[in-house]
Amino acid sequence: MVRVGVNGYGTIGKRVALAVLKQDDMSLVGVVKKNADYTALQARKLGIKIYAPTEDDMKKFEDSGVKVEGTLRDLLEGVDVIVDATPGGMGEQYRKLYDQFKVKQVFQGGEKPEVAEVSFSSLCNYSEALGKRSVRVVSCNTTGLLRIICVLNANSPVERVKAVIIRRAADPKEVKRGPINSIELDPPKAPSHHAKDVKTVIPWVKITTVAVAVPTTLMHMHHVTLKVSKKLTKSDVIAVLEEAPRVMLVNAEKTGITGTAGIVEASRDLRLRYDVPELVVFEDSVSVEDDEISLFQAIHQESIVVPENIDAIRALIPLELDPAKSIGKTDRALELNKRLW
């Protein structure tokens, strides 16, 4: 059993911690929490051990009557891998400490690529992370773009990609972020940073991205156009996506689901926290013109990177050399499937 710790128990950290608990080849030693809020009490209810970043933080927990086992340093003594899910940019500050304790490191997409040896996406470059000291699981939008590119590329080499990214304004808990009543160019200047981030994983791809932020918290949506070198029909593309791991096809005509609210509502009825770690491709939106495939895909920003974090842990050790086997194992443990109905 690989011993895992999670530093930062927010949107991503709490999901990765629960995902680790569901694996039979890794154990969760504990999580580092900054504040003694309700999520600390929930973690304790789930039997998860809590550590504080520093001794000063530990006092806050003790004053609130929430039991903590020690500090981050104590946690690092007892783990093989630390998953850093602290706010973007903070992982870089922690890196030296992780090195000092000689633990393997998984960082998140809010960090600069230089934080780790490899930027990671399970379906694209699992093997590059085998036995490495550190990886950075790329952001939610980048993970979504990489999934569609690498799945299609395995069937017909992708020559060029153009994507329009419609970003959610904030996560549901982030009440102070916006926009509330605008469609904001985000960033105003083209291209957006996503294209560069995709290239940190697959440098060979020609890609351009632009992005806007819209007043919603549920999911991101992308319109992606991929020029491929071997001609595929619309039904070829749908068959490829039907077979691919971590991709869910939604047929609007058959299901009545025509957008992110429908996906989330269907998931609310079936899943914990309505998480949808699969990339959701709208089947009816798939169109093929000559050598260009285009489609709409939706990304649940809070959960899409969770299975990638589990695969990253497996690759770093390495627990599993075969990417397909790790992906299959993770997906079975997380009960990812192809349908929400």
**Is the bond preceding residue 277 a cis peptide, omega within 30 degrees?**
no
CA distance 83 to 127: 19
Distance CA 55, CA 303 (A): 31
Closest by CA to 278, choosing from 247, 241, 311, 301, is 247
Widest CA span of the chain, in angstroms? 66
How buried is 131 (Cβ within 10 angstroms: 0-12 exposed, 13-18 middle, 19+ buried)?
A: exposed
> CA 247, CA 43: separation in Å to the nearest integer?
30
Start-to-end CA distance of the chain, whole Å, equals 34
Residue of 53, 245, 262, 323 interacting with ligand NAD (CB under 6 A): 53
3-state secondary structure of 223: strand
The least distance separating ligand NAD from the CB of residue 277, rounded to whole angstroms, comes to: 11
Between 53 and 245, name the residue whose CB sits nearer to ligand NAD.
53
Tokens coding 334: 């997380």
If one asks whether residue 301 binds ligand NAD (CB under 6 A), the answer comes out as yes
For residue 85, state whether it binds ligand NAD (rule: CB under 6 A).
yes
Comparing every residue's Cβ against ligand NAD, the nearest one is: 10
User: Measured from the CB atom, is 24 or 56 closer to ligand NAD?
Assistant: 56
Nearer to ligand NAD, 283 or 308 (CB): 308
Task: Specify whether 150 is catalytic.
Answer: no
Residue from 10, 78, 191, 318 touching ligand NAD (CB under 6 A): that is: 10
Determine if 5 is a binding residue for ligand NAD (CB under 6 A). no
DSSP letter (8 states) at residue 192: P
Which part of the chain contacts ligand NAD (CB under 6 A), choosing from 105-113, 150-158, 189-197, 274-282?
Answer: 105-113
Of 108, 119, 134, 330, which lies in the binding site for ligand NAD, with binding defined by CB under 6 A? 108
Q: Which residues are catalytic?
A: 140
**Under the rule (CB under 6 A), what is the footprint of ligand NAD?**
7-13, 32, 34-35, 53, 85-88, 90, 108-111, 139-140, 171, 301-302, 305
